[in-house]
Amino acid sequence: MGTLYEALMLILDVVWFVMIAHIIMSWLINFQVLNLRQPLIWQIWSGLNRLLEPIYGPVRSILPNTGGLDLAPLVVFIGIIILQRALANNAAWFYGF
């Protein structure tokens, strides 16, 4: 069961870092530091969007419309933190103590 705990924590960490990369890249695109006409940038951007849209989509449907401000990543970050803390607090159950 310890392996399950570590696998879940690893998955949450990977999602966390992918979201950070997506957010930083969106800022760089909006401030015109990166250009989506470049093939590599477009591939990375579309890949990150395809990875994260299944997570952001249901959250966006619940949240109210805030215009140009997207709060879905913030809500997902809070959810990841809650899941990590819940797993850490119940780690003894995974290890059989």
Residue 29's closest CA among 53, 51, 46, 13? Answer: 46
Distance of alpha carbon 74 from alpha carbon 95, whole angstroms = 31
Q: What is the pLDDT of residue 9?
A: 95
Tens of pLDDT along 49-84? 999 999 999 999 999 998 889 999 999 999 999 999
Domain count, the chain: 1
Tell which wins on pLDDT, 41 or 2: 41
Distance of alpha carbon 47 from alpha carbon 22, whole angstroms = 10
pTM of the predicted model as reported, rounded to 2 decimal places: 0.87
First to last CA, the chain: 11
Tens of pLDDT along 4-19? 999 999 999 999 999 9
- Domain that includes residue 15, residue range: 2-95
